[in-house]
Chains A and B, each alone.
Chain A
Amino acid sequence: GDSVTQMEGPVTLSEEAFLTINCTYTATGYPSLFWYVQYPGEGLQLLLKATKADDKGSNKGFEATYRKETTSFHLEKGSVQVSDSAVYFCALRSQGAQKLVFGQGTRLTINP
């Protein structure tokens, strides 16, 4: 079945550091890929998405590129801020399906 594997956390960085959170997936066909962010005590917010191979999703300085050849959708940000501290979830949705399949989440802490 479909699955998503994320880099294990927690990840702790200093402010202005470069961030990468790895995400790989297993799915048939061409799923849509998503990154969601969850701030403490809150629900999930869609951060960015990509719906086909080589698409790049971007938002708030975060980027991720849909790589079909490596089945990956790594999240990157060039310079993180304290306010980026949250849990980040990679997710996929197979073609024609309604169900989101989530990775286990990566907790990110940014220190000033």
Chain B
Amino acid sequence: DAMVIQNPRYQVTQFGKPVTLSCSQTLNHNVMYWYQQKSSQAPKLLFHYYDKDFNNEADTPDNFQSRRPNTSFCFLDIRSPGLGDAAMYLCATSRRDGNSYNEQFFGPGTRLTVL
């Protein structure tokens, strides 16, 4: 089945220690998104890639970076995690045709704990 895969499902890191979360997709979608979802809150878009074009949300902290080496993979790098960065991180993909965006498909998420 075509899908969005996130690894690992659970990640523990230490305060200030860089961490990378990964996302892969078999849907061949040209748009990939990263969302942050804190406990009992709505998902919040951090950034997205349209092909290789990176689009950062205005309020995304500089501590968060992303890489998309190819169509299938996208990484979220947190350079110096703080306690406030503990959250579920959701990857999503969609297909953009011209100016039309189709529905987003979400991965299962990676729950990040910062000690």
Q: Which residues of A contact B (CB under 8 A)?
A: 34, 36, 41-46, 49, 89, 93, 96-100, 102-105, 107
Contacts and interface: CB of A to CB of B under 8 A. Distances in A.
B106 interface: yes
- Which 6 A-B pairs have CB atoms at the shortest separation, nearest pair first? A102-B42, A43-B106, A44-B106, A43-B108, A43-B109, A98-B101
A98 B96 contact: yes
A41 B88 CA distance: 9
Contacts of B20: none
A105 B40 contact: yes
A106 to B, nearest CB: 11
Q: From DSSP, what is the main secondary structure of chain B's interface residues? A: strand
Interface string B1-40: 0001010000000000000000000000001010000001
B90 A44 contact: yes
A93 B94 CA distance: 13
Contacts of A99: 45, 48
B109 A42 contact: yes
B103 A46 contact: yes
A107 B31 CA distance: 29
B70 interface: no
A89 B41 CA distance: 10
